[in-house]
Amino acid sequence: MTDNPSPTAPDTVFEAVGGHETFRRLVDVFYREVAADDFLIAMYPEGHALEGAKHRLQTFLEQYFGGPGTYQAERGHPRLRMRHFPYPIDTKARDHWLAHMRTALDEVAPPPLYEAVMWDYFQRAAAAMVNTRDPEPGQAAGTPHLPLA
């Protein structure tokens, strides 16, 4: 018998990847990329002043992955699809968002198992936010897209 207990696995993804600091870095890298993306930054009402968006994304992700419930305390139930409905999100917007989140995950480099769990969630969440049909071939740039029914 030994006096040294075996180490226990973290209880949550939030803990396993390094907690608040890891999610802060993830969101900082993500929004650094968004700010440099003319197509995607145009969707943000606050433009390049992204502090509010950064706080909302970070607190949401921390809560989703098992961290503190700050997001819910501040904003209530996430209702992600409802909150994103005012913004026309088509597959191009989804793909831009995912590309920047991929860059952020690659830079933060969580342990592979947790990276896979996080990437799976990001892909599913991004697909669920699509609320606008893609433009028809030859449709003029800037022509309003039709919302999905």
pTM of the predicted model as reported, rounded to 2 decimal places: 0.84
**Greatest mean pLDDT range, 73-82, 113-122, 132-141:** 113-122
Per-residue pLDDT tens for 7-36? Answer: 677 899 999 999 999 999 999 999 999 999
Q: What is the pLDDT of residue 139?
A: 65
Domains and CATH numbers, the chain: 13-129 (1.10.490.10)
Q: What is the pLDDT of residue 146?
A: 45
Per-residue pLDDT tens for 51-101? Answer: 999 999 999 999 999 999 999 999 988 898 888 888 889 999 999 999 999
Give every CB contact of residue 54 below 8 A, 6+ residues apart in sequence.
27, 28, 31
Q: Which of 48 and 21 is assigned the larger pLDDT? A: 21
